[in-house]
Structure 1
């Protein structure tokens, strides 16, 4: 049975599109006929290898208000229509483990500026530009945040990161679901929340067998996700036909993870 996702010709903006999850999300939307504006910060990486008339790569520093405006301007100019679906996928995860008692204010502020301030600026401009648009433009409107098990369970030595993800998953998702309908009556806001995913960002972490044994101790499927696992769920929650009555929801894509294990499991 063929499923109509309702994404053919829909304008999608994906932030952090050159990363491990972002590139798979980009490919998935393109395969379903969407017009994709793919944001990157410093490097296009695999984006430059995709040949498609429905892909526009756009550079922006998401903590700068002027860059956000230019990002949406470039996206609209590329396709002649406003962004209809926003995928907030960008983010920074400091690789060095630092207890909160030893964390610098600059690290705390930088993580929040990128992960949270950038998301605020994106959502604000996205919603502003949709005001007064036609019903046809507003029909598939939605926002999807990429959350994390860190936002659900916390993550020791990464409190800066986990606090930003909690804010996206609970504070913003559940507040904006009640605001977006004032602009787009069928507009929806959800988040897709991965656990460990095999991406370049955490490649060294996933190679550490001892650490992964602890990380997967409370995960029934006992495996890490692949980027396509996340991309599939992002597409589903963004689809106006498959998920038209889904809003304010956190979709966990974590293998059934039930919490954090502080000590290695016994053999």
Structure 2
């Protein structure tokens, strides 16, 4: 295999020309991930081929309709649409080598489990967990027929959540769906992928609060912000790039070729106990709105 060019830091990620599928790519983390895989920049040149998935919100992905990337729409809770997504991805750029399972929904309304309807539970499980099963299954089914040299890059990164580790009162549906992905599914898939691709790897990232467009509005509430930072030593909210860069690192065989079955928590050191009083993180709980800039 020809030696890949080094980055200015002396490292290469080995992602040039590798076909990556990112689900849920129109959201904050997904969009940043797709962009970083695709872009060549002054620090690290990735140059991956990106298929960016969305379900309902196309607008942020307009720039990805370019020669080395494409955008596909699919409801990932439906088997036929998952298959059609992979068909389109493969027809345009060849087999998907790296799969980033990022899509998810979270119902905003707090409902304790004794208040939660079966419909809400099933909707969240279908949108988050069942869809993840369908996407991973389709990827692995097709991996069986991929040329051996292309299978060397086989990697799945699932996106979990701190809710999957600590639980989240009022959101048992979301927490349970993420926990199942982070532990039962990730740990099983890392043992199964090697049956098809001996160097294949499966890992998971568990973000805490991230300053995405959706979360930013919630974080303007000082009580919400304090709850997010109260047990976080770094006393700050992550940016999408904090998550996306680690997704790239875990995806790279050059940097992470001996890492599989791991759940990497990216949450500023969050713990399940109180570390910071409001004044320690510079929050006035009597303020109605906060400026996050």
The alignment's TM-score, normalised by the length of structure 1, stands at 0.96
1:36 maps to 50
Bigger Cα displacement from structure 2, 42-51 vs 101-110: 42-51
Aligned to 1:162: 175
Counterpart of 1:78 (choices 92, 102, 113) is 92
In structure 2, distance between residues paired with 1:178 and 1:89:
21
Query: Does the CA-based 8 Å contact 2:232-2:276 persist in structure 1?
Result: no
Deviation of the 1:132 alpha carbon:
3.5
Q: What secondary structure sits across from 2:256 in the alignment?
A: coil
CA shift in 2, pair 1:74/1:117, >3 Å? same
TM-score (norm 2): 0.88
Q: Which residue of 2 aligns with 1:7?
A: 15
1:4 and 1:51 map into 2 onto residues whose CA distance is 26
Q: Deviations over 1:41-88 (max 9, x none)?
A: 012121103463111000000010000010000000111x11011000
- Shift in CA distance, 146/50, structure 1 to aligned 2, threshold 3 Å: same
**Matches of 2:133 and 2:82 in 1, distance apart?**
10
RMSD over aligned Cα, in angstroms?
A: 1.5
TM alignment of 1:124-143, pairs within 5 A: 124-143=137-156
Measured in 2, the distance between the counterparts of 1:181 and 1:264 equals: 44
Aligned length: 265
Separation in structure 2 between the aligned mates of residue 63 and residue 104 of structure 1, nearest angstrom: 19
- Aligned partner (choices 192, 203, 209) of residue 196 of structure 1: 209
Do the aligned partners of 1:215 and 1:260 also contact (CA within 8 Å) in 2?
no
Query: Alpha-carbon deviation of 1:264?
Result: 9.0
